Structure 1
Amino acid sequence: MLEQVRLGLQQALAVRISAGPATGAAQQIWQLGASAQFNVVALPLVAETAWNTALDRLTHSGPPLLVVAERISQQARTHLRTRGICYADAAGNAWLRHAAGLLVALRGNQPAGPGPTPPAPTRLNVAGMRLVFLLLRTPALVACPVREIAKATRFSPSVVVRTLAYLAGHALWSAEPAEWAALRPAVIEHWVEHYATTLRNRLNPQRYRWLTAAPPTWPYPLPAGCVWSGEAAAQRLLGLAAAPPPLLMLYSTLPRAQLAHQLQLVPCQRGPVELLNPYFLPLSPDLEQCAPPLVVYADLLAAATPRAAALAQDVKSCVEL
């Protein structure tokens, strides 16, 4: 309910409303714009005579109190305004007052009962892409409630709700593990389709060349905190003995300058080495020092070369993504 009301209020006010960490099962901090913050509490649909007792139990320290419910009657809205307590409901009624100079009064015109479900996002953003990746790597999460998924993945519940709504809108979501397993190949291909333009370009990819004219002897080990991806990882995953690929791609948690110094690299726009920040922490590299196969597969397709595309299909056929 909190998420439904937050999204409806955000749309009505045309102002971003972010939900902060929850302090309880039905309590959050909402941030409206740059300066207005509210302590948000969800109350059940109860008789107005019981609201006094419920409100008296709530703390009044910190940001102004904002009561959220499925539907707040006219009598209860009047009572809340008299007490100076802000409110918002799923029917579109809202009254917000803040010392930052905010005063909002909205009257809903929807019938009693739950409000409309907010529309699913039209595309996955970076957070959504990362969350889908984690769901693909940890299938047991799909059967968990939203808050448990949020806690396990360290994303806010609002990110989880939006992402699952997006997947459901594309017939790519099920909270049943067996059904999710059946959907997994389609989810992977959908995720990979958006990987290069949405997620990969946010990983600070940079190209380098070797400091010396002659590159090190291939193959060679990486420092701790680094894993191969792309063609170099595909060679290892497939057990191929081959010459070094034209582009060596690796992820590292090391500071970029430190890594470049250790590997004797210097920046070069078309250099044969590409360094990226990982999004699949912890790295937990295997004995081959490779990124997860799904990452390798996505990077190969993002390279958009016939050689990389052929290796991508080999990885998909021979290695569990």
Structure 2
Amino acid sequence: MKTEETIYLALENLRTNTQIQGKWEHNAKGNGCHGKLKLNIADEVVLNNVELKDELRNQQLQKVIEDNIANPPIMVVANRIFPKIKEQLRMNNIAYLEANGNIYLKNKGITLWIDTNAIINPTKKTETRAFTKTGLKVVFQFLMDETWLNKPYRQIAEHTGTGIGNITNITNGLKHDGFLLNLNKYENLLQNKKGLFEKWVEVYEEKLKPTIKIGTFRFLNQGDFVNWRQINLQEEKTYWGAEPAADILTNYLRPQELTIYTTETRNELIKNYKLIPDETGNVKAYYKFWNDNDNHKQIVPPLLIYADLINNNDRRCLETAKKIYDAYLQNKL
């Protein structure tokens, strides 16, 4: 659904459900917000600067929060906003309106919160193999090192632990989605690399990460959590991810949860690090799904650190994710 269509549908559904009238004014200059929305609520006119989104993603959330500080009050108007992101918007007092008429707004002494309308499902797009569980592993390799795009399919398959037939399907999927350009018979190039990166971050959380989880644990000795930097991880087998990895890179984030990616088995982890299985624990372990480690000895690649942080929806993690993006990813995309 086009974003302009979204706002008119949202206003129509809002009026039908609540009798609230709204007027949309598009920003023709193309600078700043997309436009302004006037809502007539209980004899008050509430004006918001609008950011139009088809779908608000985790990695866009921090920018919206910053925009609301710089140019308040912001209202996000989107086809759909996921519950965790809605919660973050409410925590930061950012108004939102969905295509189905669901709304949150707190302004001029007015509080309006409706979250009971059914989701409007857009026409489902045909999914390519690029963003399947297997495809995500291969795309991760391409994002880390684009030269792999031009290596023999057999070599890519061996390096990523993928069947050679899948490589053809994955590259064809990337072409179909507009992320891969054939320069000539022997040379390929990623295009819209930032868009591909954002898509990977979003789909990784949903499709790949749940399948590689080993378990949730706590330390036998809780002092090990506080002194996690003193833990000797098995070299070339186990790596810090998410919050501890971010702290190593930025010295900015004090971890509230420890994440590791590993080729060690569950029993080896329990034995080597004195872990106790505990679903409420603060140590999470995942199988390592890539081969290279981007020259980082202790930690997973910055791309994966960023993905885990941005999908956390925690303010501290979002702030740190931005620092990592600016320092380690921005110039590569």
With normalisation by structure 2, the TM-score equals: 0.54
Cα drift, residue 197 of structure 1: 0.8
Q: Do 2:178 and 2:191's aligned partners in 1 also have CA atoms closer than 8 Å? A: no
Cα drift, residue 267 of structure 1: 1.0
Call closer, same or farther: CA 1:236–1:189 in 2, change over 3 Å.
same
Cα drift, residue 142 of structure 1: 1.9
Cα drift, residue 152 of structure 1: 4.9
1:190 to 199, 202, 220: 199
Call closer, same or farther: CA 1:270–1:156 in 2, change over 3 Å.
same
Quote the Cα distance in structure 2 between the aligned partners of 1:317 and 1:284: 17
Cα drift, residue 273 of structure 1: 0.7
Structure 1, residues 54-98: CA drift from partner, whole Å, max 9, x if none?
Answer: xxxxxxxxxxxxxxxxxxxxxxxxxxxxxxxxxxxxxxxxxxxxx
- Is 1:124 aligned with 2:131? yes
3-state secondary structure, aligned to 1:174: strand
1:226 to 207, 216, 238: 238
Q: Which amino acid aligns with 1:319?
A: Y
Quote the Cα distance in structure 2 between the aligned partners of 1:256 and 1:181: 37
Give the structure 2 partner of residue 270 of structure 1: 280
Quote the Cα distance in structure 2 between the aligned partners of 1:125 and 1:164: 12
- Is 1:310 aligned with 2:322? no
Structure 1, residues 37-58: CA drift from partner, whole Å, max 9, x if none?
Answer: xxxxxxxxxxxxxxxxxxxxxx
Cα drift, residue 308 of structure 1: 1.5
3-state secondary structure, aligned to 2:288: coil
Q: Which amino acid aligns with 1:170?
A: D
Q: Do 2:262 and 2:286's aligned partners in 1 also have CA atoms closer than 8 Å? A: yes
The structure whose Rg is larger is 1
Structure 1, residues 108-167: CA drift from partner, whole Å, max 9, x if none?
Answer: xxxxxxxxxxx8727721111111111122211223454554455442232112212221
3-state secondary structure, aligned to 1:296: helix
- Is 1:251 aligned with 2:288? no
3-state secondary structure, aligned to 1:171: coil
Quote the Cα distance in structure 1 between the aligned partners of 2:294 and 2:188: 28
3-state secondary structure, aligned to 2:229: coil
1:164 to 156, 167, 171: 171
Q: Which amino acid aligns with 2:135?
A: G
Call closer, same or farther: CA 1:185–1:179 in 2, change over 3 Å.
farther
Give the structure 2 partner of residue 25 of structure 1: none
Quote the Cα distance in structure 1 between the aligned partners of 2:247 and 2:155: 37
Give the structure 2 partner of residue 51 of structure 1: none
- Is 1:143 aligned with 2:150? yes
Call closer, same or farther: CA 1:159–1:226 in 2, change over 3 Å.
same
Cα drift, residue 257 of structure 1: 1.5
Give the structure 1 partner of residue 290 of structure 2: 280
Give the structure 1 partner of residue 299 of structure 2: 290
Quote the Cα distance in structure 2 between the aligned partners of 1:275 and 1:296: 14
Structure 1, residues 181-209: CA drift from partner, whole Å, max 9, x if none?
Answer: 55322211111110111110111241111
3-state secondary structure, aligned to 1:254: coil
Structure 1, residues 226-263: CA drift from partner, whole Å, max 9, x if none?
Answer: 1101011011112x1654x1111111222222222222
Call closer, same or farther: CA 1:231–1:156 in 2, change over 3 Å.
same
Quote the Cα distance in structure 1 between the aligned partners of 2:275 and 2:179: 42
What root-mean-square deviation, in Å, do the aligned CA atoms of Structure 1 and Structure 2 show?
2.7
Quote the Cα distance in structure 1 between the aligned partners of 2:262 and 2:134: 20
Q: Do 2:133 and 2:208's aligned partners in 1 also have CA atoms closer than 8 Å? A: yes
- Is 1:201 aligned with 2:210? yes
> Which structure has more strand as a fraction of its residues?
2
Call closer, same or farther: CA 1:153–1:259 in 2, change over 3 Å.
closer
Quote the Cα distance in structure 1 between the aligned partners of 2:152 and 2:187: 17
Q: Which amino acid aligns with 2:310?
A: L
Q: Do 1:204 and 1:277's aligned partners in 2 also have CA atoms closer than 8 Å? A: yes
Quote the Cα distance in structure 1 between the aligned partners of 2:187 and 2:315: 35
Q: Which amino acid aligns with 2:249?
A: L
Unaligned runs of 5+ in 2: 1-125
Structure-to-structure mapping, 1:97-116, within 5 angstroms: none
Give the structure 2 partner of residue 236 of structure 1: 248
Give the structure 2 partner of residue 54 of structure 1: none
